[in-house]
Amino acid sequence: MSFTDVNRPGGGGDWAPRGTNPFEDDDDDLVEQAAVANQETAQGPGPMEEAEAMAFQLTTRVAAYRRMVDLLGTRKDTMTHRENLRGVGEDVSSLAKRAAHVLRGHKPQGKRQKSRHRKLTRDVQQVLEEFQKAQRLCAERKAGSEPVATPVKRSRRRQREREAAAEQERPLLEEDPERAERERMAQEQVAVEGELELNNAVLQEREEDIKEIQFQIGEVTEIFQDLAVLVSEQGEVVDDMEANIVNTYERTEEANKELKKAAKHQRAARLQLCTIFMIVMVGIVILAMFMGLFKGQ
């Protein structure tokens, strides 16, 4: 009996039609998976392995970002800390772009590869969702606090310089009380102007940080929407995509509210600084007038 006779019912008849075997599709998947595995072995890590590595890095970086956000408003909240925080946020955004690019460009073959691709896409979405929550918290805390370590150091340095200069001029000032009073008032004015300048620099830095967070939130929102569309194209229910887009819109609205609140805090802080400056200047003028009247009598 020949090989063709084995495929005929009862040893005879026509060929059985292709596709009647229920395991034929699974066999095709196995063949495709084997081909993909052979190709990846020959060429090194494939797109899926690269995307998985990026997803792991994203998870690690977002966790670090959240821990750094928790330090805002504490004694460890320095200018250096905020610069490092900004750098980590930029790294997360860049890494998310690359991961989304790899996921969009890869066309999985076979059921298992498609399922793996879909799960990885969802994992990246979840990580980005956590990142957006941390970004909103970051904007809120930056709006209500400022770095404390660096301004204190600068203020102390200036105070030491003023004290050293005063120590050198003390013998001359003791001989001329009127000159001593003028010098004291001038030093107070310089001190106030220095503090105002420093506080304005801190406020400007905070405003730039909040704008940077706003930009990053917009980028992450676009990536999140792209991934939602990708999941839908992979055969997911359309309602899931719409829910993701709605959630993204709501998160964006919440972020915009936080940024508006931050801008309001900025204006209030500037107004407060201007008020303090005016009060100090008026006090200096009144004191000078009083001293003049006192000397005139």
Mean of the per-residue pLDDT values of the chain = 72
CA-derived radius of gyration, the chain = 34
Q: Residue for token digits 């034929």?
A: 24
The pLDDT value recorded for residue 110 is 81
Q: Which helix (H) or strand (E) holds 146?
A: none
Q: Name 138's Cβ contacts closer than 8 Å, sequence gap at least 6.
A: 69, 72, 85, 89, 213
d(CA 35, CA 30): 9
Cα distance between the two ends of the chain: 137
Beta carbons of 205 and 83 less than 8 angstroms apart: no
The pLDDT value recorded for residue 170 is 59
The pLDDT value recorded for residue 71 is 93
d(CA 98, CA 201): 35
Quick check: 161 pLDDT over 70? Answer: no
Q: Which residue has the higher pLDDT, 153 or 28?
A: 28
Q: Which helix (H) or strand (E) holds 179?
A: helix 177-233
The pLDDT value recorded for residue 67 is 95
Q: Name 129's Cβ contacts closer than 8 Å, sequence gap at least 6.
A: 224, 247, 251
Judged on CB neighbours under 10 Å (0-12, 13-18, 19+), 157 is: exposed
Percentage of the chain modeled with pLDDT above 90: 14
According to the per-residue pLDDT averaged within each range, which of 9-13, 40-44, 153-157, 197-201 is highest?
Answer: 197-201
Least confidently predicted of 59-73, 123-137, 171-185, 250-264: 171-185
Looking at residue 14, the DSSP 8-state letter turns out to be: S
